[in-house]
Chain A
Amino acid sequence: MNYVFHFNVVLDHLPELIEGAWLTIRLSAMAMALGLALAVVTAYARMTGPAPVVWLVAGYVELIRNTPFLVQIFIIYFSLPALGIRLEANEAALAAMTVNLGAYATEILRAGIEALPRGQIEAAKALGLPRLAIFRYVILFPALKTVFPALASQFILLMLGSSVVSAISAVELTAVTNSLQSTTFRAFEFYFFATGLYLAMALGFRFALGVIYWAAFQRRAWN
């Protein structure tokens, strides 16, 4: 069987592919920021809230971590309208990715918080620091520093998982690639190139996260 490769077709559509990659980067970056913020809130709520709140957070985390991402996206996009909540495709994709990352990041953050020496918190209380300041400086900051590698991995997984949102017509790199390959019939060439783009984006994100780690945790003499 002879297959003649036509990579020039891919190069003809390079602008659309680059725009798709940019949309993936933008969607992933927003979901990372919102998901981490959500995780900080839920971690705080789980630590200091009353019993019903703790149960609610635990329920949310277990539900999201034990169901497939694609099913979560379908529910947000196709089923919520029946309850009156109609989200446009890109909004639904961002919501699903935020909720999904929030659950995993909550668990990662919780592990980091539980690894802190108890003496630190007792010392802070003895010094009379207000509760929010204790959470911010004594708990959250050291925990984030400890779990940063695990969080970074989860962020990369989120960006790669964003390829699934093309199933609900959200526009990002995989959606653009699917449309291009279905009209040009060059499936191998386009998917091969898209793989390369995802690899480049993942490496780029890793580098950016490394810079963030250095800027936030290593530059000053906190430790």
Chain B
Amino acid sequence: MTMKKLGLRLVALAVLAAVAAMLTPHSASAESTLDKILREKKLRVAIDVANPPFGVLGKDGQPDGSDVAVARQLAKDLGAEIEFVQVPSTGRIPALLAGRADVTIASISVTADRAKAVMFCNPNGALSITIFAPQAVAVKTPADLVGKRVGITRATLEEATVPKMAPAGTNIVWFDDLASTTQALLSGQVDAAAMTGFAEKAVADANPDKHIENKLLVTTAFYGPIVRHDEFELRQWINTWLFLNTQNGFLAATYKKYTGLDLPPLPVF
């Protein structure tokens, strides 16, 4: 055999080997996210730090809040180092779906529409959505909203519920984050705003001269961590962790520390 023929055969063999390697199913694709987390000892959690009291930025610039505390303890019990992926309210679910986070713990209220895109773990807390406004604005029933401008943040529970209970003729004004909605209310650009009762209290306490009042209760909801579809092992681990930490009182103590309220009995599903 000449050198040229040998060289050609070697090249052909190398190409065949490469193609065979590419076509062989890669064993790592069968690994679940929970296995990956346990192997790498790293948990990426998507959080929203502009959403008091569930997620805030502490004075030292580090994330803090009731859901952030839950995330830290969860990662510790998993034996993994936590890596926070900070997202705005509109990015909480997209970050999870795009794979930038393994779980999102950012007061995501349980709704049927969201359940079509993600898997909910059992709830770890409860919140209420209220419409609030300065004292001078008269809103006693939903009918009073007609003709008024109501500020709402996108990708939140108020986005899913307020347009359904507000009568036609209400002017709903959309903002991309809670801070802008709050600023719109304080500067008078909207007559009323809708957000969680906790956030409303934070706004009212920070601006006593505006005499902000809670006007209407829209809904109450339970919220919990979310994972991607098919991540059953991770979901089950988180549910087990939630069960244990309901028994030992950690969830109740954390909730009370950040909200001042007692944690209501949490349903499981």
A residues adjacent to B (C-beta < 8 A): 1, 3, 77-79, 81-82, 86, 89, 166-169, 175, 178-179, 181-183, 185, 187-188
Which of A3, A81, A166, A175 is in CB contact (< 8 Å) with B188?
Answer: A81
* Nearest A-chain residue to B95, judged by Cβ: A187
Which of A79, A178, A185 is in CB contact (< 8 Å) with B187?
Answer: A79
Q: Is the CB of B99 within 8 A of A1?
A: yes
Tell me how many residue pairs across A and B have CB atoms closer than 8 Å.
58
Q: Is the CB of B97 within 8 A of A185?
A: yes
B237 interface residue per 8 A CB criterion: no
Which of A78, A166, A187, A188 is in CB contact (< 8 Å) with B184?
Answer: A78
Known contacts: A86-B188, A182-B155. The answer to whether A187 contacts B99 by CB under 8 A is: no
Q: Kindly list chain A residues whose C-beta atoms are within 8 Å of the C-beta of B160.
A: 183
* Nearest B-chain residue to A87, judged by Cβ: B189
Interface of A is mostly: helix
Q: What sequence of 0s and 1s flags, for each residue 230-254 of chain B, a beta carbon within 8 Å of any chain A beta carbon?
A: 0000000000000000000000000
B residues adjacent to A (C-beta < 8 A): 90, 93-94, 97-99, 113-114, 116-118, 151, 154-155, 159-160, 173-176, 180, 183-184, 187-189
Q: Kindly list chain B residues whose C-beta atoms are within 8 Å of the C-beta of A181.
A: 90, 94
Q: Kindly list chain A residues whose C-beta atoms are within 8 Å of the C-beta of B183.
A: 78
Q: Kindly list chain B residues whose C-beta atoms are within 8 Å of the C-beta of A81.
A: 187-189
Known contacts: A182-B90, A183-B113, A187-B97. The answer to whether A169 contacts B175 by CB under 8 A is: yes
Q: Kindly list chain A residues whose C-beta atoms are within 8 Å of the C-beta of B180.
A: 167-169
Chain B: minimal CB distance from A65 (Å): 25
Q: Is the CB of A78 within 8 A of B173?
A: no
Complex CA gap A166/B176 in Å reads 8
Q: Kindly list chain B residues whose C-beta atoms are within 8 Å of the C-beta of A179.
A: 154, 174
* Known pairs A166-B176, A183-B113 / 12 extra A-B pairs, C-beta < 8 Å: A1-B99, A78-B183, A78-B184, A78-B187, A81-B187, A167-B176, A168-B180, A169-B151, A169-B174, A169-B180, A185-B116, A187-B98
Complex CA gap A100/B93 in Å reads 34
Q: Kindly list chain A residues whose C-beta atoms are within 8 Å of the C-beta of B99.
A: 1
Complex CA gap A10/B89 in Å reads 21
Known contacts: A78-B184, A79-B187. The answer to whether A185 contacts B174 by CB under 8 A is: no
17 A/B residue pairs, CB under 8 Å, sorted by A: A77-B187, A77-B189, A81-B187, A82-B187, A89-B173, A169-B151, A169-B175, A169-B184, A175-B174, A178-B154, A179-B174, A182-B90, A182-B155, A182-B159, A185-B116, A185-B118, A187-B98
Closest 3 CB pairs between A and B? A182-B155, A185-B117, A187-B94
Q: Kindly list chain A residues whose C-beta atoms are within 8 Å of the C-beta of B117.
A: 185
Chain A: minimal CB distance from B150 (Å): 11
Q: Kindly list chain B residues whose C-beta atoms are within 8 Å of the C-beta of A185.
A: 93-94, 97, 113-114, 116-118
Q: Is the CB of B189 within 8 A of A182?
A: no
Complex CA gap A89/B180 in Å reads 12
Chain A: minimal CB distance from B187 (Å): 5
Q: Kindly list chain A residues whose C-beta atoms are within 8 Å of the C-beta of B116.
A: 185
Q: Is the CB of A86 within 8 A of B189?
A: yes
Q: Kindly list chain A residues whose C-beta atoms are within 8 Å of the C-beta of B90.
A: 178, 181-182
Chain A: minimal CB distance from B191 (Å): 12
Q: Is the CB of A78 within 8 A of B154?
A: no
Chain A: minimal CB distance from B196 (Å): 17
Complex CA gap A86/B188 in Å reads 8
* Nearest B-chain residue to A89, judged by Cβ: B173
Q: Kindly list chain A residues whose C-beta atoms are within 8 Å of the C-beta of B151.
A: 169
Q: Kindly list chain B residues whose C-beta atoms are within 8 Å of the C-beta of A188.
A: 98
Complex CA gap A162/B117 in Å reads 30
Q: Is the CB of A3 within 8 A of B97?
A: yes
* Nearest B-chain residue to A188, judged by Cβ: B98
* Nearest A-chain residue to B90, judged by Cβ: A182
Complex CA gap A175/B187 in Å reads 21
Q: Kindly list chain B residues whose C-beta atoms are within 8 Å of the C-beta of A187.
A: 94, 97-98
Q: Kindly list chain B residues whose C-beta atoms are within 8 Å of the C-beta of A86.
A: 188-189
Chain B: minimal CB distance from A122 (Å): 53
Q: Kindly list chain B residues whose C-beta atoms are within 8 Å of the C-beta of A3.
A: 97-98
